[in-house]
Every structure is written in C-alpha cells, then in structure tokens.
Amino acid sequence: MLIDLYSDTATKPTAAMRRAIAEAEVGDEQKGEDPTVNRLQAMTAELLGKEAALFLPSGTMCNEIAIKVHTKPGEAIIADRLAHLFGSEQGGPAFHSGVLVKPLDGDHGIFTPEQVAAAIAPGNYYVPRTTLLCAEQTHNFGGGAVWPLDRLQTVCDVAHANGLATHLDGARLLNAVVASGIAARDYAAPFDSVWLDLSKGLGAPVGGVLAGSATFIAEARRYKHLFGGAMRQAGIIAAAGVYALEHNIDRLADDHNNARRLAAGLGDIPGVIVENPEPATNIVFFDISGTGVPVQTYLERIRARDVRMGAPGSGRLRAVTHLDISEADIDTALTVAREALMRGA
Ligand SMILES: *Cc1c(COP(=O)(O)O)cnc(C)c1O
C-alpha cells in the first residue's frame, strides 16, 4: 500500500464516513433545501463564531469568492509571498477579482504589523488602493507554522484601522487549534471572513466551508452561483464534512506527533537538513542537497518503494502527515528515505 505523504488531501473516506455519506438526507442545495448542507453550515458558523457559513466545492473557491466579495477590480490585497492564494491558485485573485497581490516576506508565512502598515497604500492617482489583508493559519508553505493569536490580532488591527477587510485562509485552522489549544472562534475573531478545508487532515473527500457575517455570506452565495459552484443534492458530500467535524478534529494531534517523528528521523540522515525540525503541526519541509541525490531521483526511488512525498516548488521537499498515515508508516517511510539517499546520486 502506498504511504502517501504528498499531501493531507490524500485521505480517503473511512467505512464510517462512507456510511454517513450513504445515509445522508438530501435536498436542493441551490435552493437552500439540503438539510445536511444546512447542518454543516450551521456547525461551521458555530465553530468559527460567525453569523453564517457557506459550503463550497473547494478551499480554492473559498479564497477566491472571499477576495471577490471584499474587493473591487483595480484594488490591491496583501498576503504572504508563500500564500496559497498567491502562488497556487492559478492567478485567481487577478483573474476573478482583478486585484493586485502585494506579497510580504513573512517568517514561515507569518508577517508583522509593521510589514502590513508599510504595504498599505491609501491609493492616489498612481497607486492602487489596498483593501484586503489575507493570512493563512496554519501556513502551508511555511511548514505548517501556527500564527500566535496576538500576532493575528495585531496585523488585523492595523488592517482594520486603515479600512481594509481581513480574510483568513484556514485550510488547516483546526490543526492550529489542536496544536495550541486555542479555540477556532478565537483565531477567527479578528477576521471578517474565514474558512476550513474538509478535504485535508479532516479526511472528507470534498469541500470547504466559508464563514463570515450574514451580509458577507449572502454576497458570497451570489458568487458561488456565478462561479458555477452551486450544487444540487450536495448533502452527499456535506455529510462527510459533518462526520469529519464530529469525529476527526482531536485526532489531528496524532498527525502532529507523526510529523515530529518524521522530522527527527529525516534530520538523522546525513546530508539532510530539515527546515522545521520541530514541526508545529503536520507538515515537514526538508532539503537533500547535502546528500548529492537529485530531488527527482529521490522522489522516483521512494515512489518505486511505495512512498510518496512532494517537491512543491524551488527544490524544497515536503511531507505531510494525515489520517491515513500511522506511526508504523512513518518508520517505513524513514527507512525507504534513508536508503534512497544513502545510495548516492
Ligand atoms: C489546500 C489549500 C487550499 C486549497 O484548498 P482546495 O480544497 O485544495 O481547493 C488553500 N489554501 C491552503 C493553505 C491550502 O493548503
């Protein structure tokens, strides 16, 4: 069986989740008549401490619709240089919303109130007006780093004081919650909009849920239809999300333990440098240039032995733990990685 550390999107629905899917009550989601979708939205709004929530087919659509609602074409938004919405959504902010992204050089995706203040432009005859601040919790390409709550609060304070809206890409917000013990609603509080991905560590096959004020969600719902994301008997997939929120949050701690075990083991391989030797959550970034084995060769060697990891840009290797990865899988993956790297180029 493949040990798939490429991403936590690799999770497959368990037998119990598939039962919940099979038994889901459904209706016409576009008309607001799917009871399971409505339940998932109510649960998410409650969890995130927001007035309303909207089920969407993907996390990417959560980001893109939020940006669309918060901005007008020709405006500028602020995000970290490694943000998913900047580098991994096919230029969505430019395409869908006509906005310019001003990237900040954060520390593992975490930037400062001073950086935000310096990036905000009120807009004049030449300079586009900055109208939205985006943050990512946990920060994917920052190695699953967890923003401290007070830092999130201070960057949002600067944004709000300058009339910007604030948006949190919470694809892995619940990983931050489990790692820190801080409630999801507390992390979400400084933000006008926030979303959760159901198809990452939570283990559901599809979807994200975007939350915010009732007015924000009413607008988001219009764009959901406009972007072609409105569905029909979507309770079939929302049921997996309900199941995930009920059963799969606390167990994220196992993924974090496995990531630490993996980081420690990788760090023991000569020539390997782990970027985040003590991963805060479920993501490990590492560099193998010291081994002399090219990245592609390494990936092919481990793939031939049923272990998959990824190299999402600029030669950095990434391994992500999740629901379908056990502690024994980590030990197997470490053996395979060590042998692939000790064989020489
Ligand atoms: C995966 C991810 C997304 C996109 O979510 P999809 O459900 O795959 O579209 C957005 N932001 C971050 C930080 C992610 O890791």
- Ligand 1 binding pocket mutation candidate from 197, 202, 209 (most atoms within 8 A of CB): 197
Q: What's the pLDDT band for 339 if we cut at 50, 70, 90?
A: very high
Mean pLDDT to the nearest integer, 248-252: 98
How far does residue 281's CA lie from ligand 1's centre (Å)? 16
CA distance 159 to 115: 11
Question: 84 C-alpha to center of ligand 1: Å?
Answer: 7
Is the predicted pLDDT of residue 17 greater than 90, yes or no? yes
CA quadruple 90, 96, 102, 103: dihedral, nearest 10:
-30
What pLDDT does residue 345 have? 81
Strands (E), 149-290: 165-170, 193-197, 208-212, 273-274, 283-287
Indicate if the pLDDT at residue 313 is higher than 80. no
Kindly indicate the confidence band of residue 294, based on its pLDDT and cuts at 50, 70 and 90. very high
For residues 56-83, average pLDDT: 98
- What end-to-end distance do the CA atoms of the chain give, in Å? 26
Q: Which of 55, 86, 140 to mutate to test the pocket of ligand 1 (most atoms within 8 A of CB)?
A: 140
Question: In percent, how much of the chain has pLDDT > 90?
Answer: 96
pLDDT in tens, 177-197: 999 999 999 999 999 999 999
Cα 83 to averaged position of ligand 1 atoms, centre (Å): 10
Predicted local distance difference test score (pLDDT) of residue 236: 98
Atom of ligand 1 nearest to the CA of 60: 9
Residue 241 reports pLDDT greater than 90: yes
Confidence band of 343 (pLDDT split at 50, 70, 90): confident
Q: Is the pLDDT of residue 287 over 80?
A: yes
Task: Quote the ligand 1 centre to 248 CA distance (angstroms).
Answer: 18
Which residue matches tokens 């919303």?
Answer: 97
User: Ligand 1: distance of its center to the CA of 67 in Å?
Assistant: 15
Mean pLDDT for the stretch of residues 328-340:
98
In this structure, are strands 193-197 and 165-170 parallel, antiparallel, or unpaired?
Answer: parallel
Tokens 């798939």 label which residue?
4
- The whole-number average pLDDT for the span 219-242 is 98
Is residue 341's pLDDT more than 90? yes
Residue 124: predicted pLDDT: 82
State the pLDDT confidence band at 33, using cuts at 50, 70 and 90: very high
Residue 314 has pLDDT above 80, yes or no: no
pLDDT of amino acid 20: 98
Residue range 218-229: mean pLDDT, rounded:
97
R_g of the chain, CA atoms, integer Å:
20
**DSSP structure class, residue 107:** B
Residues lining ligand 1, CB < 6 A?
Answer: 58-60, 63, 84, 136, 140, 169, 171, 197, 199, 208
Testing ligand 1's pocket by substitution, the residue of 67, 84, 198 carrying the most ligand atoms inside 8 A of its CB is: 84
Is pLDDT of 105 > 90? yes
What is the value of pTM for the model shown? 0.97
Per-residue pLDDT, averaged over 289-314, amounts to 94
Considering the chain, what is the average pLDDT of its residues?
97
Q: Which amino acid is at 18?
A: R
- The pLDDT value recorded for residue 336 is 98
Q: Is 194 helix (H, G, I), strand (E, B) or coil?
A: strand
Ligand 1 centre from 6 Cα, in Å? 14
Average pLDDT over residues 266-287: 97
Give SS3 for 164. coil
Confidence (pLDDT) at 210: 98
pLDDT at 164 over 90: yes
Of 72-76, 110-114, 120-124, where does mean pLDDT reach its minimum? 120-124
